[in-house]
Structure 1
Amino acid sequence: MIIHHRHFATVAAFIAVIMFTSSAGADDATPKSLRLATFNASLYGKKAGQIFERLADGKDLQATRVATIVQTIRPDILVINEIDYDADAATAKRLAEAYFAVGQAGLEPIEYPYVYSAPSNTGIDSTRDLDGDGKSSGPGDAWGFGIYPGQYSMAVFSRFPIESANVRTFQKLRWKDLPDALRPTDPNTGESFYDDATWDVIRLSSKNHIDVPVRIGNRVIHVLASHPTPPVFDGPEDRNGCRNHDEIRFWNEYTQNPTATFLVDDQDRSGGLTEGELFFVAGDLNSDAADGDSRSEAIKALLANPLLTDPKPQSVGGREAGGGYLGGAKAKGDPRLDTASFGRSGNMRIDYVLPSRGFAIQQSGVFWPTKKAPNRKLLNASDHRMVWVDVELQNE
């Protein structure tokens, strides 16, 4: 694990720096710098309410490992992918209060008094046969793949106030309303995978696309978070690949098209992000620009978005793991940038924190301890790694 643009003599020295320094002190009302992070924590169950119950006693091993990583990196604003949604944010708040706010492995607790839990399309029955298996009731027939409503959702944890009244969600935005939407088509027959009636109503977001404004002093930072569907588990029509592509492309439309009439949120407000706003795009985007099965044009276009910066967070652990793809084939991408490890399918860069150009980038990294690091076992928390970026608030 390394800090981008900086080098430390040993991993232990780096861990010490992270453990005892934070980008903002607890008492700073308007800090000069912030640590932004994303982490797919894989906190999902087999039925609704299971994760909430698992977290009840504060001793769940997976959640403890997640919290230890959080307390090591100490983000000021954190996006967690794959945590259950409930209307009162009970699961996310329990994680914050029973794990993040309780010291783990000798680390200092970290409090997130502001939590936003995002509603999700996962597990919500569409009453249609969306996966083409001849049935209309199953996890593949939900608006977003899921066994129960709220599975695989996401939450934002913040040390600073969330402007709840100004949150925007795009859970119900129709896929077809995105300009030049990639309608899945069977290459063997030339026929659309979805009939016209289904294409007319299917939603773009497999979970949600959210804009969560966080107020820091006299500044507002927009947390733009999503978790597009994996571009696999489909057929020659590549329906999941098409959807992943367009879910990622949404952010280019949203950040660069403030007057877009097709961008109508769940609150019935239209348009993209107001020009000049501070923001960062974060989440498990399930697409690597160099490796994997996604339609990489979308992630490449997002990384080239002129309004944002790619800090290219890196780790020594990722370099040591060496990438790899499909049982030993050499990966095309730089393994130092990898953020997830999928066994035989290899390691890939699919988790991102992409700040807008209104920030100055200070440093960044991926939490991926080396094989001999004392905290190596923390990687068992998830098949993803936490990605973090330190940014400086520039003068207005």
Structure 2
Amino acid sequence: MGIPSGQYDHARHRHGAGGRDDPRQTPPRLRRSAYAGRLIRFLLALLLLTGTAQAEPLRIATFNTELSRKGPGLLLRDILRGDDPAVASVIETITSADPDIIALQGIDYDLEQAALNALADALSAAGAPYPHRFAAPPNAGRQSGVDLDGDGRLGTPRDAQGYGRFFGQGAMAILSRRPIQEGGLQDFSTLPWRDLPDTLYPMIDGAPFAGAEAHTTQRLSSNGHWSLPIQTPEGPVTLLTYHATPPVFDGPEDRNGRRNHDETIFWLHHLAGKIGTPPTPPFVLLGDANLDPERGDGRGEAIAALLSHPALQDPLPHRPTVNWPQTGPMRVDYILPSRDWKVRDAGLIWPKGESASRHALVWVDLTR
């Protein structure tokens, strides 16, 4: 893909039994303590093994699969056929990473989660089972009934709450090997953009872009903003995840650039307790921000503010995560654990194949 692949290393350190006793003859003066020595070594090995089991890292990943199709039901069809090269590349990439929990972007949503379940079944057949799955109705492709982009037409993809040719195009999902606590979900996807503190909603000569009705109707999230707890052996872990709109493909009003900025700045307000109930550590903020802190047309100060937030840590600073032909390597996909985590390892896996996603899968291994 034109970017050197990060060195991949399974950070799941599996340890076998301890070494054998020395078979040589024990000197007479030490024979009386031989049994005690073996017992001490056995107890030490047992303690080491127990400590290793407790310190087994939790691997969390995020991956923009770019599996979205041009019509409803087409992704499900292509997964079930079993011969689609893009689907095969996604399966290979996820199984190579072998995460415990993964946030997915670019996967089409349907009300029965048929496409997500089909992908999970394919992963299970490939040796990577994910019995727990989650997806909520997104803003992508959800028609608003209002001319949100101000072009004088209704019902276009840009008049949806989030860009989409159909409801659910290119949405988000979670796959997990740990139980998902849906009862603790905070879904901020319906938050009106105008209600974000210090919003950058575009104004033209003091009036809202595209009119008062668009200003009232437009939601902040182009896909969604979720706070979702997942149960692990060490206790619940909260995922804060989103997929922001690209900060391009608009006019001089910079509607998408401003919205992209605010979709990321949202998390600062949430962590400060201004919107919703802030997460109790441990938590992980992850997803596709579509925003590089230093390059591109977006307002990089938004993601820079998250990267420097005192409650968060950045395991992969300055590592590009996407390679777009028109821009070259950029960093847009992030995993930012809360400060109470110990980061054991982190890396990228670049998908293979001509039809592969242009995004790397980003993973991090965490312990408490």
TM-score (norm 1): 0.78
Aligned to 1:297: 301
* Cα-to-partner distance string for 1:244-276 (whole Å, 9 max, x where unaligned): 01100111111221xx3xx3xxxxxxx2224x3
Aligned to 1:325: none
Aligned to 1:383: 358
Q: 1:24 to 1:195 in 2, by over 3 A?
A: farther
User: Are the counterparts in 2 of residues 175 and 204 from structure 1 also a CA contact under 8 Å?
Assistant: yes
Cα distance in 1 for residues equivalent to 2:155 and 2:108: 21
Cα distance in 1 for residues equivalent to 2:14 and 2:240: 21
Are 2:76 and 1:40 equivalent residues in the alignment? no
Cα distance in 2 for residues equivalent to 1:23 and 1:39: 23
Aligned to 1:328: none
Aligned to 1:365: 347
- Per-residue deviation at 1:2? 6.4
Aligned residues: 329
Cα distance in 1 for residues equivalent to 2:232 and 2:91: 24
Cα distance in 1 for residues equivalent to 2:353 and 2:315: 24
* Cα-to-partner distance string for 1:263-311 (whole Å, 9 max, x where unaligned): 3xxxxxxx2224x321111111000000001111110111111111011
Q: 1:211 to 1:49 in 2, by over 3 A?
A: same
Q: Percent identity?
A: 39
Are 2:245 and 1:229 equivalent residues in the alignment? yes
Q: 1:97 to 1:194 in 2, by over 3 A?
A: same
Cα distance in 2 for residues equivalent to 1:296 and 1:24: 40
Q: 1:90 to 1:119 in 2, by over 3 A?
A: same
Aligned to 2:80: 56
- Per-residue deviation at 1:31? 6.1
User: Are the counterparts in 1 of residues 149 and 210 from structure 2 also a CA contact under 8 Å?
Assistant: no
Aligned to 2:120: 96
Q: 1:31 to 1:214 in 2, by over 3 A?
A: farther
Aligned counterpart for 1:286 among listed residues 290, 295, 302: 290
Q: Which amino acid aligns with 1:128?
A: V
Aligned to 1:75: 99
Q: Which amino acid aligns with 2:125?
A: V
**SS at 2:95's partner residue?**
helix
User: Are the counterparts in 2 of residues 285 and 350 from structure 1 also a CA contact under 8 Å?
Assistant: yes
What is the RMSD of the two structures over their aligned residues, measured on CA atoms?
2.1
Cα distance in 2 for residues equivalent to 1:173 and 1:190: 23
- Per-residue deviation at 1:32? 3.3
Cα distance in 2 for residues equivalent to 1:356 and 1:169: 20
**SS at 1:55's partner residue?**
helix
Cα distance in 2 for residues equivalent to 1:349 and 1:366: 12
Cα distance in 2 for residues equivalent to 1:382 and 1:180: 35
Cα distance in 2 for residues equivalent to 1:29 and 1:390: 14
Aligned counterpart for 1:130 among listed residues 138, 148, 159: 148
Aligned to 2:24: none
Cα distance in 1 for residues equivalent to 2:187 and 2:245: 17
Q: 1:134 to 1:84 in 2, by over 3 A?
A: same
Cα distance in 2 for residues equivalent to 1:234 and 1:378: 31
Higher-Rg member (1/2):
2
Q: 1:360 to 1:218 in 2, by over 3 A?
A: closer
Cα distance in 2 for residues equivalent to 1:238 and 1:282: 25
- Per-residue deviation at 1:171? 1.6
Q: 1:367 to 1:379 in 2, by over 3 A?
A: farther
**SS at 2:326's partner residue?**
helix
User: Are the counterparts in 2 of residues 256 and 273 from structure 1 also a CA contact under 8 Å?
Assistant: yes
**SS at 2:265's partner residue?**
helix
Are 2:221 and 1:205 equivalent residues in the alignment? yes
Aligned to 1:353: 335
Q: Which amino acid aligns with 1:307?
A: A
Are 2:261 and 1:238 equivalent residues in the alignment? no
- Per-residue deviation at 1:190? 5.7
User: Are the counterparts in 2 of residues 359 and 391 from structure 1 also a CA contact under 8 Å?
Assistant: yes
Range that drifts further, 154-163 or 247-256:
247-256
Q: 1:382 to 1:219 in 2, by over 3 A?
A: same
Unmatched runs of 5 consecutive residues or more in structure 2? 16-51
User: Are the counterparts in 2 of residues 85 and 150 from structure 1 also a CA contact under 8 Å?
Assistant: yes
